[in-house]
Structure 1
């Protein structure tokens, strides 16, 4: 049976495609997708099959998905799995009514949710990519972090060519588990970070840790403990991964420099707030700290 390679995904009322597009477009050094005019182009792998998809706003207001290239015959099962991936990427299944109710009464968030109404917490569904990106970004500026990520992806990832452009897939843990630390340090990644990423790749390959195991935990504290058992994974890294990949609503990377700078800017502080200050104001965002953090990060973009 012929299966259409173009279909729409329903989105909730609190969703604005342009707000999400603008967020993605601001990451202008990102190598895992491309934003071209009003479209997002991304390669994904599902069950070892590679798909290149184009996302744009549907006339109905939803997300229009079009598969423009695939490494095998397309099927309804693949369409369903791509829908699941896109829905998770844009977090369309989360009801934001509770967050907006809190945010519209909050002095730190009120202006942000009015300005960026409909912005979703754009995620990183791939667990190894999420944790690698968190490790890469530890204690360096974002621009350099993106450069390091691109070097790793272009050296060890795979790509799809379409319309004279390459669209990259993040390296698999199987590939990274079998390289040496010196191979990563040659890309200007520090020795420690190289060790941490390779260690995590090996742990994932051995099924010591996985996205599924973390999702099966019963609390934020349990998931954080599971992650921080590994070298190089501190509280900030764990909360970042829980926020961006596992969608834990009360994940809260209080030590994040970007979050601290955003709060400083919004409040008009002379100095960056302390972790204690951030933790205290976060009590007003109970069970929505991840979304509050994301909107505050958004305030730092043009």
Structure 2
């Protein structure tokens, strides 16, 4: 169940955390009251995936590896990384790799630099990725985006799918922009700032709204669009 009260909107002092399919269903109920249009969208979307992963270095690394490459390429890189680290990707093991190991994995230099910086921050104790799950979204996002190579989209997706934050909306996600445009019959997809403004009405359940629109658009295209596997 959610970490804060669930019979009404969460208090500002608590961080709402999604941990189960039941939490998704509860979020949808709140969303339908906040914006009745979403009820019809949900009927077309079908089941809303949870796709929740454990918080930590591996979760954030997987998101970074998957950026700007096909799902097949990301899976192949991740397999090579996991085999090199005996199936368990930890910050400690990553910093212990040979300096040029990233070439064998198939990573770009930019991604390798980002992962090294994150791993070193975790090992040194400057960054506690698990603790971010209990921090208010704005604070957690600020801490993540302060890391070199970690932009808003990466931070938001990590907080949604690893941290379980209920009120995060990755408005810069192109698939999400297209989904909202298709669902509401907009002439063109809204840009990030416009979409972020539109999404405010779905607070404090914006993470569930994002999952809903991804599921809706996946049904339209016939393929998965969630930014995590």
Pick the TM interval, shorter chain: 0.7 to 0.9
Q: Any residues of structure 2 matched to 1:63-212 within 5 Å, and which?
A: 91-92=20-21, 94=23, 96-103=25-32, 105-107=35-37, 109-115=38-44, 119-158=48-87, 170-212=88-130
TM-score, normalised via structure 1 length: 0.59
TM-superposed CA distance for 1:181, in Å, is: 4.4
Q: Residue 114 of structure 1: SS of its match in structure 2?
A: helix
Indicate conservation of the 8 Å contact 2:45/2:217, yes or no. no
Unaligned runs of 5+ in 1: 1-87, 159-169
Indicate conservation of the 8 Å contact 2:169/2:206, yes or no. yes
Q: Any residues of structure 2 matched to 1:227-266 within 5 Å, and which?
A: 227-266=144-183
TM-superposed CA distance for 1:292, in Å, is: 0.9
Q: Could you give the per-residue CA deviations for residues 68-97 of structure 1, whole angstroms, max 9, x where no partner exists?
A: xxxxxxxxxxxxxxxxxxxx9962563743
1 or 2 for the larger relative contact order (CA 8 Å, sep ≥6)?
Answer: 2
Q: 1:296 and 1:283, CA in 2 relative to 1: closer, same or farther beyond 3 A?
A: same
Question: Structure 1 residue aligned with 2:195, among 278, 282, 299?
Answer: 278
Q: More helix by proportion, 1 or 2? A: 2
CA distance in 1, matches of 2:159, 2:140: 8
CA distance in 2, matches of 1:102, 1:215: 22
Q: 1:270 and 1:189, CA in 2 relative to 1: closer, same or farther beyond 3 A?
A: farther
Q: 1:272 and 1:186, CA in 2 relative to 1: closer, same or farther beyond 3 A?
A: farther
Q: Any residues of structure 2 matched to 1:37-52 within 5 Å, and which?
A: none
Q: 1:152 and 1:264, CA in 2 relative to 1: closer, same or farther beyond 3 A?
A: farther
Q: 1:102 and 1:92, CA in 2 relative to 1: closer, same or farther beyond 3 A?
A: closer
Q: 1:141 and 1:264, CA in 2 relative to 1: closer, same or farther beyond 3 A?
A: farther
Indicate conservation of the 8 Å contact 1:89/1:125, yes or no. no
Within the alignment, does 1:288 sit opposite 2:201 as a pair?
A: no
Q: 1:97 and 1:202, CA in 2 relative to 1: closer, same or farther beyond 3 A?
A: same
Q: More strand by proportion, 1 or 2? A: 1
CA distance in 2, matches of 1:173, 1:268: 44
Q: CA RMSD in A?
A: 2.6
Q: 1:173 and 1:93, CA in 2 relative to 1: closer, same or farther beyond 3 A?
A: farther
TM-score, normalised via structure 2 length: 0.75
